[in-house]
Amino acid sequence: MVFRKSLTRELTFTALGVFVVLLAIILSTQAINLLGRAAEGQIANEAVTALIGFWALGLFPLLMILTVFVTVLVVLTRIWRDHEMAVWLSSGLSLRDWVWPVMRFTIPLALLVGIVSLYIAPWAEERSQVYAEILKRREEISAIAPGVFKETGSGSKVYFIESYGGEHGAATNIFMQDMSEGKVSSIFAKRGYITVNDDNERVLVLEDGRRYVGEPGQSNYEVGSFKRYSVVVGNNQKLVARPNNRQAQSTSALLGSSDPGYRSELVWRLSMPLSCLVLAFLAIPLSYYNPRNGHAHNLVVALLAFFLYQNSLTLVRNWITQGKVGMASILLVHVIVLIIAVLLLKYRDRPANTVRQTLKYFLHKH
Q: pLDDT tens-digit profile of 91-149?
A: 777 778 888 889 999 999 999 999 999 999 888 888 877 776 666 555 444 455 577 77
Q: Kindly report the CA angle at 353 between 347 and 357, in degrees rounded to 5? A: 100
**Which helix or strand (DSSP H or E) is residue 115 part of?**
helix 99-115
Q: How far apart (Å, rounded) are the C-alpha atoms in residues 19 and 90?
A: 33
Integer CA distances (angstroms), 40 to 8, 34, 109, 203, in order: 48, 10, 39, 24
The pLDDT of residue 215: 72
pLDDT score for 352: 53
From the list 225, 140, 134, the residue with the least C-alpha distance to 187 is 225
Rounded Cα gap, residues 144 and 51, in angstroms: 16
Name the residue ranges covered by the structural domains of the chain: 1-139+243-364, 145-232
Give the model's pLDDT for residue 66.
93
| pLDDT value of residue 355 | 55
Amino acid 317: pLDDT: 92
Separation between Cα atoms, residue 121 and residue 127, nearest integer Å: 10
Instruction: Give the chain's residues under pLDDT 50.
Output: 139-142, 235-240, 351, 366
From the CA atom positions of the chain, what is the Rg in Å?
30
What pLDDT, on a 0 to 100 scale, did the predictor assign at position 297?
77
- Beta strand spans in 1-122 (E): none
Contact present, 90 and 301 (Cβ < 8 Å): no
Instruction: Give the chain's end-to-end CA distance (angstroms, integer).
Output: 39
